[in-house]
Homo-oligomer: A and B are copies of this chain.
Amino acid sequence: MKEHTVTARSNDSARDIPEATVARLPVYLRALVALAEQQISTCSSEELAAAAGVNSAKLRKDLSYLGSYGTRGVGYDVDYLRYQIAREIGVTQDWPVVIVGIGNLGHALANFSGFRSRGFRVVGLLDADPDMKDQTVAGLQVRPFDDLPEIATENGVAIGVIAVPAVAAQDVADALVAAGITSILNFAPTVLSVPERVDVRKVDLSIELQILAYHEQRKAVQTL
């Protein structure tokens, strides 16, 4: 295989990748990791698309936003493409993360191994409940919520996870923002209001289930 040449786009860091593409890059990355584990060193857009569960034309278009990392007539080098996507997403180094609210969900998240293996490192577990103090979860001591600013600045934390009850979520978000955090993953079923510069993504179990219920209901109606 020919030496990979760095094409024009790869140094130009200001180009913007469509949001829909950004959301799929992690899926491609995961599929590439799986292929690498199977000792597969090259793959076509067709194969990778199948592994990622998308259309191959869409995959190629998505990858073309990053640059020209394939070889016509051959396909993509698994390791090389994997590195390029990881670099583009920004997970070549680990991001420090804090989790707030170590209840049912917070426990599960703290124990989640996928964090570590996918570019993230949990550096703080915080809870307002004084009884939680001194408890150790997943090898990390639970700290009082007031320690947030200290932990955040010490570790240069940019990403925070909210796993507290809905009523407390906005307060926690405000505190996270005050502590300099600029990206929030919110598990509480609330609309958070944050400054413009802060990104919020939500994961909402009830919403997902209700969407399924809607389609389920339609199926039922249609088969009558």
Q: Which stretch from A56-64, A72-80, A212-220 is at the chain B interface?
A: A212-220
Q: Are B205 and A109 in contact (CB under 8 A)?
A: yes
Question: A105 at interface (Cβ–Cβ under 8 A)?
Answer: yes
Question: Given known contacts A182-B219, A206-B26, is B114 in contact with A213 (CB within 8 Å)?
Answer: no
Complex CA–CA separation, A219 to B111 (angstroms): 29
B210 touches A119 (CB 8 A): yes
A205 touching B91, Cβ below 8 Å: no
Q: Are A216 and B95 in contact (CB-based, < 8 A)?
A: yes
Contact B213–A159 (Cβ < 8 Å): yes
Enumerate chain B residues within 8 angstroms of A178, measured Cβ to Cβ.
none
Question: Beyond A108-B107, A191-B53, A205-B109, is A22–B197 a contact (Cβ under 8 Å)?
Answer: no
A172 adjacent to chain B (CB < 8 Å): no
**Closest chain B residue to A117, Cβ basis:** B206
CB-CB nearest in chain B for A224? B13
| CB–CB A214/B114 < 8 A | no
Return the CB mask of A185-224 against B: 1 if under 8 Å, else 0.
1000101010001010101111111111111110101100
- By a CB distance below 8 angstroms, the chain B residues around A205 are 109, 112, 114-115, 185, 203
Cβ contacts under 8 Å, A214 to chain B:
17, 22, 25, 88-90
Chain B residues near A173 (CB-CB < 8 A):
none
Tell whether, in the assembled complex, residue A90 and residue B159 are in contact, meaning their CB atoms are under 8 Å apart. Answer: no
